[in-house]
Each structure stands twice: as structure tokens, then as C-alpha cells.
């Protein structure tokens, strides 16, 4: 891209415009949702965990800025097929590395929203109340 808008690199815009694994998942066994009140970003994750504790399938739904939605799309590609142990151990660095863009403190919240939702989904008490 001709412009030097580092935050909006090709891979971010690609995931934003063509999100992977987007939609509902009726067979999901774990679901969670959260929002970023700053900009109204919303991410819902649906996870289907199989008998051998693997994430057999994943979908996300949501709306919001390019960073939050691209990050959610990327997250689904990372965790699909992953063991529950590995998914639980995923940290922010893994997401930020995948995003590969410089982020201000404010935009970091957008970028990490989907990881937070994953943690809630895999945590002891999935929070679906919000």
C-alpha cells in the first residue's frame, strides 16, 4: 500500500474484509461474549470442544473496528484444532505477533478483546451474561 498507515497493513484489512470462521455454531459447547466500551467493539466466540479436549471447530460473531475484528478472525485460525491446554496457555504476545502492527495503548484493547473472550470461554465460568 502506498500510504504508511502501519496499523492498516494488508493482512489486517484482509481479515477485516474477509473474516475467517465468521458466523454462528449451533454445535458449540462453549460460548462467550464481551465488548470494548470505548469503541463499542463486540466479539462473540463459539467453540466446539471434542472428546479429546481439542477445539474441533470455532466461529466468531461481532462488530467493531478493523483491529478488533481482524484480531478475532486471526484468533480463530490460531485456535482451530488446538488442544485446550495450548489454547488456555495462549498469551497476548501470540496475538500481537500474528497482528504484526504497532499499537497504541488504546488500540491494544481492541486487539486483545478476542483473546479475552477466549479466556472467558475456556475459564471455569463462561460469562455469557453481558
Partner 1 sequence: MARKDRMAKPAKMLLNVPAIQADFPILKRTVRDKRLVYLDSAATSQKPKQVIEATSDYYSRYNANVHRAIYELGEESTREYEGAREKVADFIHAKAASEIAFTKSTTESINVIAYGYGLKGKIQKGDEILGTVMEHHSNHVPWHFVKDHKGAVLKYVDVADDGTLKMEQYDDLLTRHTKIVTVTLCSNVLGTINPVKEIAKRAHEVGALCVVDAAQAAPHMPVDVQSLDADFLAFSGHKMLGPTGIGVLYGKAELLEETEPLLGGGEMIREVHLGWAKWNDVPYKFEGGTPNIAGAIGLGVAVDYLTKLGMDAVRAHEMEVTQYALEKFDRLKGVTTYGPKDVKRRAGVVSFTIEGAHPHDIASILDVEGICIRSGHHCAQPLMERFDLPATARASFYIYNDLDDVDALIAGIKRVQEVFA
Minimum distance of partner 1 from residue 69's CB (angstroms): 8
CB atoms within 10 A of CB 1: 9
Q: How many residues bind partner 1 (CB under 8 A)?
A: 19
Integer Cα distance of 126 and 129 in angstroms: 9
**DSSP three-state, residue 93:** helix
- Toward partner 1, which CB reaches closer, 8 or 116? 8
Site string for partner 1, 66-105 (x = CB under 8 A): xx--------------------------------------
- Toward partner 1, which CB reaches closer, 109 or 119? 109
User: Considering only residues 11, 40, 81, 85, which one is a binding residue for partner 1 as defined by CB under 8 A?
Assistant: 40
CA-nearest of 82, 90, 85, 81 to 118 is: 90
Minimum distance of partner 1 from residue 5's CB (angstroms): 6
Burial class (CB in 10 A: 0-12, 13-18, 19+), 41: buried
Per the CB < 8 A criterion, the answer to whether 117 and 44 are in contact is yes
The distance in angstroms from the start CA to the end CA of the chain is 39
* Range in contact with partner 1 (rule: CB under 8 A) among 25-33, 49-57, 60-68, 111-119: 60-68
Interacting residues toward partner 1 by CB under 8 A: 1, 3-5, 7-8, 13, 38-42, 63-67, 107, 110
Amino acid at each position: 500500500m502506498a500510504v504508511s498507515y502501519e496499523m492498516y497493513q494488508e493482512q489486517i484489512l484482509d481479515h477485516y474484509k474477509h473474516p475467517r470462521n465468521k458466523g454462528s455454531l449451533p454445535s458449540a459447547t462453549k460460548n462467550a461474549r464481551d465488548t470494548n466500551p470505548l469503541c463499542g467493539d463486540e466479539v462473540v466466540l463459539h467453540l466446539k470442544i471434542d472428546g479429546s479436549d481439542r477445539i474441533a471447530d470455532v466461529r466468531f460473531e461481532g462488530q467493531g473496528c478493523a483491529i478488533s475484528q481482524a484480531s478475532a478472525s486471526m484468533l480463530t485460525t490460531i485456535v482451530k484444532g488446538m488442544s485446550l491446554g495450548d489454547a488456555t496457555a495462549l498469551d497476548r504476545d501470540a496475538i500481537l505477533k500474528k497482528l504484526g502492527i504497532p499499537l497504541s495503548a488504546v488500540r491494544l484493547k481492541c486487539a486483545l478483546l478476542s483473546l479475552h473472550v477466549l479466556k472467558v470461554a475456556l475459564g471455569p465460568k463462561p460469562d455469557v451474561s453481558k
